[in-house]
Each structure stands twice: as C-alpha cells, then as structure tokens.
Chains A and B, each alone.
Chain A
Amino acid sequence: MKAIVTVIGKDKPGIIAKVSTCLAENNVNIEDISQTIMQGNFTMIMQCGFENASTSLIEIKGRLVELGEKIGVSIHVQHEDIFNAMHKI
C-alpha cells in the first residue's frame, strides 16, 4: 500500500532529515520525492511504500504528526487512493 506524505511549513534546516529518519525508523520506503518553496513555505511531497512498514499507517501517521508539531511544520499522511479517486478518471 502506498501513501502520500505532505510536509508544509516554514523553511528551516533539517526538515527532510527528520521526516525521512522517522520514515526509515518505521521501515517506510520513500519512492518519490519533490520539494520546493512556495510563497515562503517549505512544501515537500513524498510517495511512500508502506508494504513492509513496521506498524500500521495510522500509527505511523500519529508519529509523523507528532514530529511535525515538534519541528513546527504540518504533516499529512493519506492513502494514495484518495488522490487516485479525486484526480484520475
């Protein structure tokens, strides 16, 4: 199962390092990544494989949201099917 992890917030050093460390700790594979600064906001979108994840998507989402709060960015984790449903016919 794949999910999209989105990180949005004020740019500062170490965001990618911290988020990818958290994903690696939970054995989540980053399959695609794009990052940019939009209107002064750091915006990173990752497509992640949860096939071999150490625990459930919901639990990992909880850890990422917690991390986001700690480093001051907003982190979303959503099953990719929601984007398939909305944006692909």
Chain B
Amino acid sequence: MFSRKEILETIDMVEKEHFDVRTITMGISLLPCIRDDAKTTADLCYDRICKKAEKIVSVAQDLEDEFGVPIINKRVSITPASLLTSSFCGKEVVLAKALDKAAKTVGVDFLGGYSALVQKGMTSYEKSFIESIPEALAVTDRMCSSVNVGSSKAGINMDAVGLMGKIIKQTAELTKDRDGFGCAKLVVFCNAVEDNPFMAGAFHGVGEGETVINVGVSGPGVVHHALKSMKGASVEDIAETIKKTAFKITRTGQLIAKEASKRLSAEFGIVDLSLAPTPVMGDSVAHILEEIGLDSVGGHGTTAALAMLNDAVKKGGVMASSNVGGLSGAFIPVSEDIGMIRAAEKGAITLSKLEAMTCVCSVGIDMVAVPGDTPATTLSGMIADEAAIGMINNKTTAVRVIPVPGKGVGESVEFGGLLGSAPIMAVSPYGCKAFIERGGRMPAPIHSNKN
C-alpha cells in the first residue's frame, strides 16, 4: 500500500498543478504507399493512417480514465512526405489534403510529417515539395510541416535556409486572414530528430519501425509547485528537487507509453522529457525560472537558471524511462507560455535573449510573432543563427516564427487554444540579404569528424 502522502501528491499533481501527458504520438511509416501518381499515393496513405491509428483516440481516453492522468493530445507523425512525392512534383498538395482528411477521420489533433530533410543537399523533387508547403498549410487544418536545413554532421544548407525565409513569408501571406496562422504549423530545424512526438516538428524518420508510439510528458506546474516551498534554498537543492519531480513525471510518461503501445499493437519508441508549457496560468516554464529567483524571465541570469532547469529535468527523467528521445528539454515557446507572453509584453524578453536561451535548452525561436514586413532574408538570418547554434553544440534547434501580415511591434496576435497569443516582437533593423543570397553549404564543424 502507498502512503497517504504519496497518493495525495499524485492526485494534487493532476488536480492543482496541471500535470498531464502532453501527447501520445503514433509514428507511421508510409513508405509502402509510394506510387507514381498523386491520387493513388494519397489514397493509400489515407487508408494506412486510418487503419493504423484507428484506435488511438479511444485508447488514450481509456488510459486517461484508468490512470486518472489527462492525455491532452493525440497525434500522428508520418514518414517525411517529400520521400513520397518525388514522382508527382507539382501535385504534392493532393497528398496534403489526404493527410489532413486522415487526421480528421481518426480524430487526432495534429498530423506531422509534411517534411523534407535537406541538411546537405536538395533534390529537384524536394525543392518542389518545399515550394508546396505554403499552399499545403493554407488548405489544411491539422497538418504540420517541418524542414531540416542543417546538422552537426552535414553543416548548414544555406540554399535551403534562403528558401525557407521565402516559404515562411508565403505561408503567412496565404493565411493572412488568420494572422499568418499557417506559420504556427511550420518549423525549420537543425539536427531534427526522427522520434519527436511534439508538434509542429514531429515526423516518423526512415530509421524508425513500422508503427511506433512516442510520448511527450509535461509538468511545468508540478515543478513550479515543488519549488514554491524552497525559498532561500541553494541552487544545488533546487536542482535536486527538479530532478526528483522530473523522475515522477517521466515515470508516468513511461507507463502510459508502454500501455498505449501494447493496446495499439505498436512498438514503444521513446519518452520525450520535455517540460512543455501551455498558456494556462500555473503551467509556465517562465514562472519556474521566476520562482528560482528572476524578477522576470528575460533578465540577466535567465540563461543560467534555464541551463540548470533543463539539465536537472534530463537527469531526473533519464532514469525514469527505458528509452529517452525526442527533443527532451524545457520548451520556451513565447505564445504558448503565459509567463513568456507577459515578459514579451513588457519588453523584458527580446529575440536576442531568446536566442541565447536556446543555447542551453530545447528547442529554439519558437512561436514568436514578428512584424509582417520583416524581409524574407532576415527570417533566413534568424534560421541560420539558430541552425549554427544547433550545429556547433550538437543539439536540435528550430525556428517557428510568424511574420504577421499587416501588423507591427506593439500589436499582438491570438492563435487560440494551446497555441496561445503573442505580442509582436521587434527584429533587428539590420539585414543580412547579401549573406543569405550567397547560398551554398556551410561546412560541417571540425568536431563532426569523430571517426
């Protein structure tokens, strides 16, 4: 029997501290669906997703009821779609529509994997695929897209970096009736991982099995609560408490992941140790940092506090799961975290500080709204900077930025739900057009040569 304290602690984590399993994501290989015309491929993909993920929503509901832990999102990730569309360039959107329809049929919140991996080179069919992304995101609701433009092993594909600046601008323009919402479903990565359960960047890598369950846990509120009673404690003690809390959170993720994979006849993939905030009060990573002792997130000391938090979460989580993967770190999306939103509104956090923070945590410049007239090459510059941080530090970095059409600094944008709202942040007025237009490939760093 468990002690009363243990049982009530678990119940309080859910009832008062917003503890939940953020996502159960089913990765599905769509390689068997490749045909040489768009409609047949799209139909086969639709059927395969509907068959494999048929029970994901009902199984998640059962697990939520049995264990008493909310499971917020049910998602599907697929083989990077650029691998499926090589023989029907120009008609990629046919597939996008089928994927969106499949997501709606099985009832998942999002489907990720309208993706291309072009970190070293870009084929003609991958270029055509990437050019289809703005329209694909405009005509679908639940489909997410990502493009990997760099890696520690390959360097940075600056042609792709240049192209993605334009693609983000076009996506914003095609979804301007929704304040550029399409860009909230588009991530540009360096060192993208193949087993990420989180959106918008989830895809099912080619190194993965046929059907895999990956689980992302959450719990900023639980960590925050644990630290509330530690006024004046040393940083070492704070780190220790975060570790213990992360262990408990992750063990739950492991339990749910194992059980979900058994019931869905899929392999258990990984548990992603990320601390993922939501815009709800009491579920904020920024507020943890402020509890640690910052006047506001974004001020001096933020990077150090975040580094400690991120590391302690990993140390606690690693022992709790047999397989850790995905992005595994503290997320700092601006629009999805009430503490980050407030800090951005009062000017406490800037893009420069965000960039520094991404050196020590997951994942990058995430859900940041910028003025609609930001040049494409400046967006590419932001992507290049993040990719460089990822490449040099052997970590995943990303950019998910929304140049909100017709809006500027001082205004804000509302995306709703988990995506939240964001004040529009200032970008540097100094451009980098000539740098981006050089194109080519940034060579891999010296430490990539480990053999």
Interface residues of A, Cβ cutoff 8 Å to B: 4, 6, 8, 32, 34, 36, 43, 45, 47, 57-58, 61, 76-83, 85-87
Smallest distance from the beta carbon of B245 to chain A beta carbons, Å? Answer: 10
Contact residues in B for A87 (Cβ distance below 8 Å): 2, 6, 10, 248
Does B255 contact A82, Cβ atoms closer than 8 Å? yes
The one of A36, A47, A76 in contact with B68, judged by C-beta atoms closer than 8 angstroms, is A76
Q: Pick the interface stretch among B32-40, B59-67, B153-161, B300-308.
A: B59-67
Contact residues in A for B6 (Cβ distance below 8 Å): 83, 86-87
- 10 inter-chain pairs at a CB distance below 8 angstroms, sorted by A residue, are A4-B2, A32-B1, A34-B4, A36-B4, A57-B66, A76-B11, A77-B68, A79-B68, A85-B252, A87-B10
Smallest distance from the beta carbon of A76 to chain B beta carbons, Å? Answer: 6
Does A86 contact B65, Cβ atoms closer than 8 Å? no
Contact residues in B for A79 (Cβ distance below 8 Å): 66-68
What's the Cα separation between A50 and B113 when bound, in Å? 41
Does B66 contact A86, Cβ atoms closer than 8 Å? no
Smallest distance from the beta carbon of B209 to chain A beta carbons, Å? Answer: 24
Q: Is B8 an interface residue (CB 8 A)?
A: yes
A83 touching B255 in the complex, CB below 8 Å, given contacts A34-B4, A45-B4:
no
What's the Cα separation between A57 and B254 when bound, in Å? 21
How many B residues have CB within 8 A of the partner chain? 20
Instruction: Name the 8 nearest CB pairs between A and B, nearest first.
Output: A78-B68, A85-B251, A85-B255, A87-B6, A82-B67, A86-B248, A58-B65, A79-B66
Does B62 contact A58, Cβ atoms closer than 8 Å? yes
Does B255 contact A4, Cβ atoms closer than 8 Å? no
Contact residues in B for A57 (Cβ distance below 8 Å): 65-66
- Among A34, A57, A61, A87, max chain B CB count under 10 A is at A87
Contact residues in A for B2 (Cβ distance below 8 Å): 4, 80, 83, 87
Does B4 contact A82, Cβ atoms closer than 8 Å? no
Q: Is B69 an interface residue (CB 8 A)?
A: yes
Does A81 contact B68, Cβ atoms closer than 8 Å? no
What's the Cα separation between A77 and B68 when bound, in Å? 7
What's the Cα separation between A45 and B252 when bound, in Å? 20
Smallest distance from the beta carbon of B382 to chain A beta carbons, Å? Answer: 40
Which applies to chain A's interface (DSSP): helix, strand, loop or mixed? strand
Contact residues in B for A85 (Cβ distance below 8 Å): 251-252, 254-255
Does B255 contact A81, Cβ atoms closer than 8 Å? yes
Q: Is B446 an interface residue (CB 8 A)?
A: no
Q: Look across to chain A and name the residue whose beta carbon is closest to the beta carbon of B320.
A: A85
Interface residues of B, Cβ cutoff 8 Å to A: 1-2, 4, 6-11, 62, 65-69, 248, 251-252, 254-255
Smallest distance from the beta carbon of B191 to chain A beta carbons, Å? Answer: 31
What's the Cα separation between A77 and B1 when bound, in Å? 15
What's the Cα separation between A57 and B66 when bound, in Å? 7
Does A86 contact B1, Cβ atoms closer than 8 Å? no
Contact residues in A for B7 (Cβ distance below 8 Å): 4, 6, 45, 83
Does A86 contact B251, Cβ atoms closer than 8 Å? yes
Does B252 contact A82, Cβ atoms closer than 8 Å? yes
- Among B2, B62, B251, max chain A CB count under 10 A is at B2
Contact residues in A for B4 (Cβ distance below 8 Å): 34, 36, 43, 45
- Kindly list 13 other residue pairs between chains A and B, CB separation below 8 angstroms, not including A78-B66, A79-B67, A85-B251: A4-B7, A34-B1, A43-B8, A47-B1, A77-B68, A78-B67, A81-B67, A82-B68, A83-B2, A83-B10, A85-B252, A86-B248, A87-B10
Q: Look across to chain A and name the residue whose beta carbon is closest to the beta carbon of B62.
A: A58
Does B10 contact A86, Cβ atoms closer than 8 Å? yes
Smallest distance from the beta carbon of B239 to chain A beta carbons, Å? Answer: 19
Contact residues in B for A43 (Cβ distance below 8 Å): 4, 8
Contact residues in B for A47 (Cβ distance below 8 Å): 1
What's the Cα separation between A77 and B255 when bound, in Å? 17
What's the Cα separation between A61 and B254 when bound, in Å? 23
- Among B7, B11, B62, B67, max chain A CB count under 10 A is at B7
Smallest distance from the beta carbon of A9 to chain B beta carbons, Å? Answer: 13
Smallest distance from the beta carbon of B167 to chain A beta carbons, Å? Answer: 42
Contact residues in B for A36 (Cβ distance below 8 Å): 4
What's the Cα separation between A57 and B1 when bound, in Å? 19
What's the Cα separation between A4 and B1 when bound, in Å? 9
Does B69 contact A82, Cβ atoms closer than 8 Å? yes
What's the Cα separation between A36 and B21 when bound, in Å? 31
Smallest distance from the beta carbon of A85 to chain B beta carbons, Å? Answer: 4
Smallest distance from the beta carbon of B255 to chain A beta carbons, Å? Answer: 4
Smallest distance from the beta carbon of A43 to chain B beta carbons, Å? Answer: 7
What's the Cα separation between A89 and B7 when bound, in Å? 15
Contact residues in A for B65 (Cβ distance below 8 Å): 57-58, 61
Contact residues in B for A76 (Cβ distance below 8 Å): 11, 68
Smallest distance from the beta carbon of A37 to chain B beta carbons, Å? Answer: 12
- Among B4, B66, B67, B255, max chain A CB count under 10 A is at B66
What's the Cα separation between A18 and B67 when bound, in Å? 23
What's the Cα separation between A32 and B252 when bound, in Å? 24
Contact residues in B for A80 (Cβ distance below 8 Å): 2
